[in-house]
């Protein structure tokens, strides 16, 4: 009988945690890999576009503010833009390897997702930068969760045997 207390190891009789693979999961590429890859490609496009906009953006000059503050805002925009550009390119290069079941690319993708999500979320919250950074963070997090579904993990394990 399953325990009423949560634990890190699931009981085999717990129907809420049991993974039941479908026929598609056993023979082909699971839907979670396909959806995760699609989300990652869309997010990579958005990240590169956002990064280009942030790198080329200039703060308004007609305001009466300290020039040092303008330089600081410009530096922050360029930093976040470069991080988005590099992360977007890395995500675009690594995401096609999900279909082949590559463990190493999935781990690298997770690292890039975490780093880019942290930078984008912090810059959105602290620096009050564009709303697209929050959208990028949400898409990265959703694609990371989809990429590590039990069917995707079983597929990666099967491909690396």
Over residues 24-40, the pLDDT tens digits come to: 666 678 888 989 999 99
Q: Which of the two residues, 26 and 146, has the higher pLDDT score?
A: 146
Q: What is the pLDDT of residues 72-131, one digit of tens each?
A: 888 888 999 999 999 999 999 999 998 888 899 999 999 999 999 999 999 888 877 788
Tokens of 1: 């009988």
Q: Which residues contact 109 (CB under 8 A, 6 or more apart)?
A: 40, 91, 94, 95, 98, 144, 147
pTM of this structure: 0.80
Q: What pLDDT digit, counting tens, does each position of 39-59 carry?
A: 999 999 999 999 999 899 877
**In the chain, where the domains are located:** 30-59+68-159
> How sure is the predictor about 157, in pLDDT bands with cuts at 50, 70 and 90?
confident
Count Cβ neighbours within 10 Å for each residue of 58-87 and write b for 16 or more, e otherwise.
eeeeeeeeeeeeeeebeebbeebbebbbbb
How far apart, in whole angstroms, are the C-alpha atoms of residue 149 and residue 156? 11
């Amino acid at each position: 009988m399953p325990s009423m207390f949560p634990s890190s190891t699931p009981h085999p009789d717990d129907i809420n945690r049991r993974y039941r693979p479908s026929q598609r999961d056993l023979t082909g590429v699971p839907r979670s890999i396909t959806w995760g890859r699609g989300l990652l490609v869309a997010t990579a496009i958005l990240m590169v576009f956002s990064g280009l906009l942030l790198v080329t953006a200039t703060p308004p000059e007609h305001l009466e503010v300290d020039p040092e503050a303008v330089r600081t805002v410009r530096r922050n925009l360029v930093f976040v833009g470069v991080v988005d550009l590099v992360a977007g390119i890395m995500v675009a290069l690594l995401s096609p390897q999900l279909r082949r079941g590559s463990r190493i690319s999935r781990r690298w993708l997770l690292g890039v997702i975490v780093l880019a999500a942290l930078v984008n979320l912090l810059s959105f919250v602290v620096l009050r930068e564009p709303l697209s950074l929050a959208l990028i963070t949400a898409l990265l997090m959703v694609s990371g969760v989809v990429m590590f579904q039990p069917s995707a993990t079983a597929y990666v394990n099967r491909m690396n045997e």
